[in-house]
Amino acid sequence: MADLVAASDEQSSSRVPLPEGTIPVGLGLLVSGLASFVFLRVGKDALGGEEPFSPVLSLWFATFALAPGFFLPLEQELGRALSHRRALGQGTRPVVRKVALLGLGLAAIVSVLMLAAGPLIADSYFDGEWVMMFALVVAFASYAPVHLARGISSGSGRFKSYAVVMGADGVVRVVLCLILAAAGVATVGPYGMAVALAPLVGFLLVWWGKQLRTEDGPPATWGEVTPNLGWLLLGSVFAAGLVNAGPVAANLLREPDQKELVTQFGYGVLLSRIPLFLFQAVQAALLPRLSRLAARNQLDEFRRGFRKLLVLVIAVGVIGTVGAYAVGPYVIRKMYDAELQSRTLAMLALSSALYMLALALAQAVIALRGHALVGAGWGLGMITFVLVTWLSADQLFRRIEFGLIASSAASLCAFAVALKRQLRKGVEPDHGSMMDAIIDMPFET
Specify if 14 maps to a domain.
no
User: 359 and 333 in contact (C-beta within 8 Å)?
Assistant: no
Segments forming the whole domain that contains residue 161: 21-227
Does 383 share its domain with 422?
Answer: yes
Q: Does 213 lie in the same domain as 64?
A: yes
The answer as to whether 280 is a domain residue is yes
| Alpha carbons 316 and 360: distance in angstroms, whole number | 13
The set of residues, in sequence order, having a beta carbon less than 8 Å from that of 118 and lying 6+ positions away, is: 130, 133
Which residues, other chains included, contact 17 with Cβ-Cβ below 8 Å and sequence gap of 6+?
none
- Tell me the C-alpha distance between 408 and 382, whole Å: 9
- How big, in percent rounded to 5, are the helix, strand and coil portions of the chain? 85, 0, 15
Is the Cβ–Cβ distance between 378 and 362 less than 8 Å?
yes
Instruction: Report the chain's terminal Cα–Cα distance, integer Å.
Output: 50
Mark whether 335 and 212 lie in a shared domain: no
Write down the pLDDT at residue 29. 75
pLDDT band at 5 (very low <50, low <70, confident <90, very high): very low
Helix (H, G, I), strand (E, B) or coil at 14: helix
Domain boundary (159, 193, 227) is at: 227
Spatial separation of the C-alpha atoms in residues 435 and 69, rounded to whole Å: 17
Whether residues 217 and 251 share a domain: the answer is: no
Residue 13 resides in a domain: no
Q: Residues, the chain, total?
A: 445
Give dist(CA 166, CA 365) in Å, integer.
Answer: 25
Structural domain count of the chain: 2
pLDDT band at 196 (very low <50, low <70, confident <90, very high): very high
Does any domain span residue 1? Answer: no
- How does pLDDT run across 273-291, given as a tens digit for each residue? 887 776 765 665 555 566 5
Same domain, 406 and 362: yes
Give residue-wise pLDDT tens across range 297-335.
676 776 777 787 788 888 888 999 999 999 999 999 988
**Other CB atoms within 10 A of residue 116 CB:** 10
Q: Bigger pLDDT: 93 or 366? A: 93
In a domain, 382, yes or no: yes
pLDDT over threshold 90, residue 199 = yes
**Domain end point (choices 178, 198, 227):** 227
At residue 402, the pLDDT reads 95
Average pLDDT score over residue span 198-212: 95
- 355 and 269 in one domain? yes
Whether residue 139 has pLDDT greater than 80: yes
Residue 64 class from Cβ within 10 Å (0-12 exposed, 13-18 middle, 19+ buried)? buried
pLDDT of residue 9: 38
What pLDDT does residue 434 have?
62
Helix (H, G, I), strand (E, B) or coil at 212: coil
Rounded to 5°, the CA angle 202-204-207 comes to 110
Domain final residue, candidates 227, 246, 261: 227
Indicate whether 209 and 272 sit together in one domain. Answer: no
| pTM reported for the whole predicted model | 0.84
- Residue by residue, DSSP assigns 306-317 as HHHHHHHHHHHH
The residues, any chain, with a CB within 8 Å of residue 362's CB and separated by 6 or more, are: 235, 239, 374, 377, 378, 411, 415, 440
Name the more confident of 54 and 25.
Answer: 54
With 80 as the cut, is the pLDDT of residue 241 above it? yes
Between CA 369 and CA 385 the distance in angstroms is 26
| Within-domain flag for 8 | no
Cβ neighbours of residue 82 under 8 Å, at least 6 residues apart?
Answer: 92, 95, 96, 151, 152, 155, 156, 214
